[in-house]
Chain A
Amino acid sequence: MQYLEYKLEMGPGGMHTPYWVDDGGYWNNPANHTYIGATRDNQEFKIPDTVTKLTAAELETRQLTIHAATPMLKITNVDGVPTPGTELTDAEVRTEIQNWVTAHS
């Protein structure tokens, strides 16, 4: 599986997830409007050469950098609503990334 850092593409109806992303929309970086997505290996379609491909380790580093600027928060059930609370620790951020990588490998 390939892990891609991408931006939305502009189309006739507006911006959308690039068609070459199989499962995207994860971990928006508000500083540069990028997202993380996964795409199958050895795909028949072309992924633009300008798209950054990340290893699992690089994905962790990216997310910890974003977390330092815009902390990810722990989500708990408060009165029946998923609600952000305290900041995730760096270890919890790593675990979230690792779980996602496992689910997309």
Chain B
Amino acid sequence: MSGTTKQNPNRQSGTVGPVASATKDSGNPTKTTNPSSGVGAEWINTTTGQIFICINATTDANEWIGQTNTNIGSFGLFGGGQSGGAGTQVNTIDYITIPTTGNATDFGDLTNNQTPAGTSNGINDRAVWGGGHDGSGYVDTIQYNTISIPGNGTDFGNLQQARGGGIAGCSNGSNERGIFAGGHNNDDEIDYITISTPGNGTDFGDLTQGRYGVCGADNGTNERGVFAGGWNGNKLDTIDYITINSAGNAIDFGNLLASGFAAASCSNNTNDRAVFAGLNPDGTYLNTIQYITITSTGNATDFGDLSGGRAYLTGLSNGTGERGCWGGGTDTSAAKLNTIEYITISTPGNTTDFGDLTQARASAGGASNGAS
């Protein structure tokens, strides 16, 4: 066969027509990319050549899937953790598609076996993992993953000091500031990073009480981060807050229903509700889920129950998509769990089974690309 093959611009009939409806853009679609043609709308990233299809057209909570399994708006990652007793830290990262129940799938590995805090820049698709313990000591490493593309962690930088295992993370989402707080017995330190730009942590301010076994949540681009519970030699019911885009010390917010540590949190992002699940007051783990309205200081209110008493679990959500998930953790038998359960954050009630992690473990970090 000789000659060249050209497109026939005049062919408009028949079963195969041109992809006239595709939007062309230099970047990926986001959760808030609202397609006028709804489900089935096509998007071409002119930088990478990747084609996306809208598989869920919900205003400002859309889901797009690309031909390399890039999934925008709904991936949740569980990173690291501890699979047994002391010294059993793992580097496993697995992921779930938050709107769709089912078991987690292997995503890749962290650079170390550790128990980090996780957070992300939401729809901008980067998870960051900070601090933790590797079984022999605290670590100061920060690493990152592109949430929509399975793979291993990449070095990002270092915290101001090695700490964690009970460190908290939160962020202002696509405004790109990530926060890591607490993590030692008397550590009140808060670090911040710019998630899109690898580098070291910078001093932000101090928690109201130095503590570890603390958890963090945020209302995304509305700029408030909250930190709840913890241990500093005493169990704490403290909730304090920061304004993420304005460095400074944390301020008292209110109190949890009970004093304790090792709860796990998530939020519905700009919809302004943070939920905290599980708690360890004295070794008798609670099944309690409680919530706060992030912009309104005050005490927590009961939300519902986990399927059993536990702590050291990992929380994440798809933000304004309203699904919150908790995975792993430990129950009173000290066994590490592989269970994942979920709630609808806007609607108080008990959890429902979601599926299983690839590996039973506790004290993992959590991050998703479902936030703002």
A residues contacting B by CB (< 8 A) are 8, 11, 13-17, 23-28, 30, 35, 70-73, 75, 77-82, 84
Contacts and interface: CB of A to CB of B under 8 A. Distances in A.
B300 A16 contact: yes
B286 A73 contact: no
B212 A81 contact: yes
Contacts, number: 94
Contacts of A77: 185, 212
B299 to A, nearest CB: 5
Contacts of A25: 237, 255-259
A82 B166 contact: yes
Among the interface residues B82, B212, B282, B303, which one has the most CB atoms of the partner chain A within 10 A?
B282
A97 to B, nearest CB: 12
A72 B282 contact: yes
A78 to B, nearest CB: 5
Interface in B39-88: 82, 86-87
Given A72-B282, A80-B165, A15 B302 contact: yes
A76 B270 CA distance: 37
Interface stretch (B6-14, B131-139, B145-153, B202-210): B131-139
Given A80-B163, A80-B183, A82-B166, A27 B302 contact: no
B288 to A, nearest CB: 9
A35 B271 CA distance: 31
Nearest to B165: A80
Contact of B284 (A17, A30, A75): A30
A71 B286 CA distance: 14
B257 A80 contact: no
Interface string B181-208: 0010100000000000000000000000
Contact of A79 (B89, B258, B280): B89
B348 interface: yes
B164 interface: yes
A24 B238 CA distance: 11
A16 B257 contact: yes
Interface size class of B (residues with CB under 8 A): 35 or more
Contact of A14 (B259, B280, B302, B363): B302
B27 interface: no
Given A16-B300, A17-B299, A28 B87 contact: no
Interface of B: 82, 86-87, 89, 115, 132-133, 135, 138, 163-166, 183, 185, 212-213, 231, 235, 237, 255-259, 261-262, 280-284, 286, 291, 299-303, 312, 348, 363
B133 A80 contact: yes
B303 A14 contact: yes
A81 B301 contact: no
B255 A24 contact: yes
Given A17-B255, A24-B255, A79 B135 contact: yes
A28 B286 contact: yes
Nearest to A70: B284
Contact of B132 (A16, A28, A80): A80
Nearest to A16: B301
A81 to B, nearest CB: 4
Contacts of A8: 257, 302
Nearest to A13: B301
Given A16-B301, A26-B259, A79 B115 contact: yes
A78 B261 CA distance: 14
B133 A81 contact: yes
A75 B117 CA distance: 21
